[in-house]
Chains A and B, each alone.
Chain A
Amino acid sequence: MEIDGKEILKSINLEVNKGEVHAIMGPNGSGKSTLATLLAGRDLANVVEGEITYMGKNLFEISPEERARNGIFLGFQYPIEIPGVSMVNFLKTALNEHRKYRGQDPLSASDFLKVMQEKKKLVEIDSQLTNRSVNEGFSGGEKKKNEIFQMAMLEPTLAILDETDSGLDIDALRIVANGVNKLKSSENATIVITHYQRLLDYIIPDYVHVLYDGRIVKSGGKELAIELEKKGYDWIKKEISYNGMILDKSLK
């Protein structure tokens, strides 16, 4: 994948099965967020080669909204403020689009409110926030909670959480992680993208992958995250150059 003629994602092979939690870690600029938004359907024009198959479908052939209705959810690193679009209207439209796609009738106003009340508890989101415009004037923590709240409403099969821990204090982190864990089941999968190991104390991954310079250079179990935390990313850089995995001259 290229952006402005620069190759961003170079070599990624990843298989995620239902019931699994994968963590993707990596230093700044390694392509983590690009991978997340690519999965959700952005910048498709920039894809040079490769394929992403999701439940038998070629993702490069379907639009962001259709991916969403097929169960893909992206929790944004920087959730967008949309003044003038009320949270209620936004969530109702989104949820009913999902239902329509599955051939279900739209929820009545009262049923919708019931669902919303129930899901709000899950992430301990302030009731006042859902009376406001989407993310408008929300604090950093509130925005992240709102992402998980939306995830709870839409019940995705594959959730991609992009730096959901950034900007959270320890209490908010616990609440957000708790929400994610409650939503986890044997029928869905989660990809957690993070810079720090901290979040992985709460959301325990089955697999950890290290993304560096557009490639997955190392994969392992949850202990890999702990090792990274201890040794830092420089250790990975050294190791992979030593193994000759990276041909980038600047690193040799």
Chain B
Amino acid sequence: MGETLQITNWNEELSDIFNRNSTLLRKGSPDYVNENRDRGIAQFRKLGIPDSSNENYKYLNLDFVYKQQFQDYLMPEKVNFDINHIFQCDIPTLDTHVVTLLNGFYFDRSRPISDLHSGALAGSLNYAFRKIPDLVKKHFGRYAKMEKEGLVAWNSAFSNDGIFIYVPDGVVLRKPIQIVNLLLSNSNLRVQHRNLFILGENAHATVIVCDHTLSDNRFVTNSVTEIFAGENAGLDYIKVQNEHNLATKLSNLYIHQERNSRVNTNTITLHGGVVRNNVHVVLDGKGCESNIKGLYLVDKGQHVDNYIFVDHAKPECTSNQLYKGVLDDFATGAFNGRILVRKDAQKTKAFQANNNILLTDDAKMNTKPQLEIYADDVKCSHGATVGQLDEDALFYLRTRGIEENEARLMLMYAFAHEIIAGINVEPLSARIDDLVDKRLRGELSRCANCAINCR
């Protein structure tokens, strides 16, 4: 466990925490990981935590998050309880292979990695660092770029564990892998973890990520996930963020796609204090397809910030961004979708849409498309809407005897459903439908029998 500090100049202080704990941080990792760590801290000293002077973080204020007192969870503490007593995913018909992280560290120490079938692996990244370095080295740190992103640099310096998934060439995993990210602590906690997913040629997998908080103190999570999708590979990546209002989630997802691969990501933000999702996709081979979708439902003082960057590096690829949000009370949000079509990326198809419903005059949404197109034979479109519920539709429903409030809910639900309909894991999409319905009704959308009330 790290130390508590009063922050004055926090970037300096955060670097100092690294210095004071560097022996501890290095201890569990092989040299190639520690080299990345050194590059990380050096880069972090230059960049720091992004603030509003960074155009990409214009609407996100991380100050207040760091002005609180936090402990850094640098090494796993011994836990003497059965995690199943505290948390169990309660979707009975959802048949998945579950891997659990507690405060960013792989939970099941007795079984750090599992062979799912035909050599497909899921388990602790730290274990993979040490046991299968040749495979990990080829990908680790290659896609998450720390040169421009302070959060990645920070994570590279501090992270020590996370989830490692490997699906060898030609292996198709029918059963989804479910990553359960749990946060549990007696004090305010900062957590950094790192995930690496490698999909070989023609490999197929579904990964579900569920973020939960199990105690009601403040949390900051800064995670980095690197995904490599080999030629013809297919990945469905579904993330359900359901943390309480004192939690801050900084999530950095880097996806590298090879020729003819297809990656779908769905990020469902049901709850959370401050949520920032960075998604970077590089389409690095002909014929790739990338569908990047998200839904966010926020109220009270919550803030959700989605930053998407799709890099069309090679010709004949298709990308499709669709983000939808409902903002209530005085919640705020931002969407920034950047599409880069490089000079040789002819026949690119790149689409982007961001649609928002503001339920009050105080809710606020900033949305910004950014298109940089250097090829001439492309099909690109973008569109953003920020508005209220359709009054004509509302009147139509009411003239059929449906209560105004119920009619509003039906319309909001319908608005959100477009995203959920894209999730092709049946019991999960039904559950998310249900959670969204409850969330919109103002009922608590607790995923599991979790012990706390979201505030």
Interface residues in chain A, defined as those with a beta carbon under 8 Å from any beta carbon in chain B: 37, 40-42, 63-65, 67-69, 73-74, 76, 79-80, 82-85, 89-90, 93-94, 97-98, 101, 133-134, 150, 154
Asked whether B395 is an interface residue with its Cβ less than 8 Å from the other chain, the reply is yes
Asked whether B393 is an interface residue with its Cβ less than 8 Å from the other chain, the reply is yes
Contact A84 B401 (CB under 8 A): no
Contact A83 B401 (CB under 8 A): no
Q: Which of B395, B403, B406, B417 contacts A42 (CB 8 A)?
A: B395
Given contacts A82-B393, A82-B411, A84-B413, contact A63 B402 (CB under 8 A): no
Contact B406 A93 (CB under 8 A): yes
- B-side interface mostly: helix
Interface residues in chain B, defined as those with a beta carbon under 8 Å from any beta carbon in chain A: 390, 392-393, 395-404, 406-407, 410-411, 413-415, 417-418
| B416 closest partner in A (C-beta) | A84
Give every chain A residue within 8 A of B413 (Cβ-Cβ).
84-85
Give me 5 other A-B pairs in contact (C-beta within 8 A), A85-B410, A90-B402, A154-B400 excluded: A65-B401, A79-B396, A84-B418, A85-B413, A90-B400
Contact B399 A73 (CB under 8 A): yes
B361 to chain A, nearest CB (A): 19
Given contacts A82-B411, A85-B411, A133-B414, contact A40 B399 (CB under 8 A): yes
Give every chain B residue within 8 A of A150 (Cβ-Cβ).
400
A112 to chain B, nearest CB (A): 15
Given contacts A68-B399, A73-B399, A84-B417, contact A63 B411 (CB under 8 A): no
Contact B402 A97 (CB under 8 A): yes
Give every chain B residue within 8 A of A133 (Cβ-Cβ).
414
Q: Which of B395, B403, B417 contacts A97 (CB 8 A)?
A: B403
Given contacts A41-B398, A74-B399, A82-B396, contact A93 B404 (CB under 8 A): no
Give every chain A residue within 8 A of B397 (Cβ-Cβ).
82, 85, 90, 94
Given contacts A42-B395, A80-B396, contact A65 B414 (CB under 8 A): no
Q: What are 30 contact pairs spanning A and B, CB under 8 A?
A: A40-B399, A64-B398, A64-B399, A65-B402, A65-B403, A65-B404, A65-B407, A68-B398, A68-B399, A73-B399, A80-B393, A80-B395, A80-B396, A82-B397, A82-B411, A82-B414, A83-B414, A83-B418, A84-B415, A85-B397, A85-B413, A89-B410, A90-B397, A90-B400, A94-B400, A97-B406, A98-B401, A101-B401, A134-B396, A150-B400
- Bound together, the chains give a CA A19 to CA B413 distance in angstroms of 40
- Bound together, the chains give a CA A64 to CA B397 distance in angstroms of 9
A-B CB proximity, top 8 nearest: A84-B414, A68-B401, A94-B400, A64-B398, A80-B396, A97-B401, A85-B414, A65-B398
Count chain A CB atoms within 10 A of each CB in B399, B410, B411 and give the residue with the most. Answer: B399
Contact A154 B401 (CB under 8 A): yes
A2 to chain B, nearest CB (A): 19
Give every chain B residue within 8 A of A85 (Cβ-Cβ).
397, 410-411, 413-414
Contact B395 A90 (CB under 8 A): no
- Bound together, the chains give a CA A97 to CA B400 distance in angstroms of 9
- Bound together, the chains give a CA A101 to CA B400 distance in angstroms of 13
Give every chain B residue within 8 A of A90 (Cβ-Cβ).
397, 400, 402, 410
Give every chain A residue within 8 A of B418 (Cβ-Cβ).
83-84
Q: Which of A63, A73, A84, A98 contacts B398 (CB 8 A)?
A: A63
- Bound together, the chains give a CA A65 to CA B404 distance in angstroms of 7
B334 to chain A, nearest CB (A): 25
Give every chain B residue within 8 A of A93 (Cβ-Cβ).
402, 406, 410
- Bound together, the chains give a CA A40 to CA B394 distance in angstroms of 13
- Bound together, the chains give a CA A64 to CA B394 distance in angstroms of 10
Given contacts A64-B395, A84-B418, contact A69 B404 (CB under 8 A): no
- Bound together, the chains give a CA A90 to CA B407 distance in angstroms of 9
- Bound together, the chains give a CA A74 to CA B399 distance in angstroms of 7
Give every chain A residue within 8 A of B403 (Cβ-Cβ).
65, 97
| B392 closest partner in A (C-beta) | A80
| A89 closest partner in B (C-beta) | B410
- Bound together, the chains give a CA A69 to CA B401 distance in angstroms of 5
Count chain A CB atoms within 10 A of each CB in B397, B413, B417 and give the residue with the most. Answer: B397
- Bound together, the chains give a CA A214 to CA B343 distance in angstroms of 62
- Bound together, the chains give a CA A246 to CA B181 distance in angstroms of 75
- Bound together, the chains give a CA A73 to CA B406 distance in angstroms of 19
Contact A76 B415 (CB under 8 A): no
- Bound together, the chains give a CA A143 to CA B45 distance in angstroms of 63
Contact A94 B410 (CB under 8 A): no
B393 to chain A, nearest CB (A): 5
Count chain B CB atoms within 10 A of each CB in A80, A89, A98, A133 and give the residue with the most. Answer: A80
- Bound together, the chains give a CA A40 to CA B397 distance in angstroms of 12
- Bound together, the chains give a CA A41 to CA B404 distance in angstroms of 12
B72 to chain A, nearest CB (A): 44
Give every chain A residue within 8 A of B404 (Cβ-Cβ).
63, 65
| B398 closest partner in A (C-beta) | A64
Give every chain A residue within 8 A of B414 (Cβ-Cβ).
82-85, 133
| B410 closest partner in A (C-beta) | A85
| B395 closest partner in A (C-beta) | A42
Count chain A CB atoms within 10 A of each CB in B396, B400, B411 and give the residue with the most. Answer: B400
